[in-house]
Amino acid sequence: MISKNEKEIILGIDPGFAIVGYGIVEKSKNGDLKMIEYGAITTMAKLPFPARLAQVHRELKEVIKEYKPNKMAVEELFFSKNVKTAIEVGQARGVIMLTGIQAGLPIEEYTPLQIKQAVASYGRAEKKQVQEMVKMLLKLKEIPRPDDAADALAVAICCANSSNHYEIN
């Protein structure tokens, strides 16, 4: 649990296996949010799927080691049309969550609706609206790229302003 005197460093994740977006925000004691870093872990399509999952694990572990978040927030899956893709993203999401658990991070999960509601005040907001709000809320000069990184920052913002906290021991 984070003490009231400590700054919260939140790692937001937009899960995938081709591209995993990550965004790190700091929430100060007074509730102000500041972007620390954002980016994406990109795996090559020609790699075997298990190697792609291993790469996601290794690179996410490095992000955690470098930025030392004290909480991780992951977007829940919202797929229906392509079952194969949904299963693969689900497997990547499991690797992502296990990486956070192994690092001792409490993990929170949010649906796309919750994220849009928290960031744009409208659960059916368009992607562009959410990205513009991420830019505004974090006082950035431009919308973070790639889109996956902007989405991950939105997950972190949602987490900073919510409390679905649970810990795995």
Residue 75 among the catalytic residues: yes
DSSP run (H or E) holding 10: strand 8-14
Which tokens go with 150?
């902007």
Catalytic residue among 8, 108, 109, 148: 148
Under a CB-based contact definition with an 8 Å cutoff, are residues 154 and 4 in contact? Answer: no
Residue 147 among the catalytic residues: no
Catalytic residue among 8, 59, 75, 109: 75
Residue 151 among the catalytic residues: no
What's the Cα-to-Cα distance from 154 to each of 4, 5, 33, 126, rounded to whole Å? 23, 24, 12, 13
Catalytic residue among 8, 14, 59, 88: 14
DSSP 41: E
Query: Which residues are known catalytic residues?
Result: 14, 75, 148
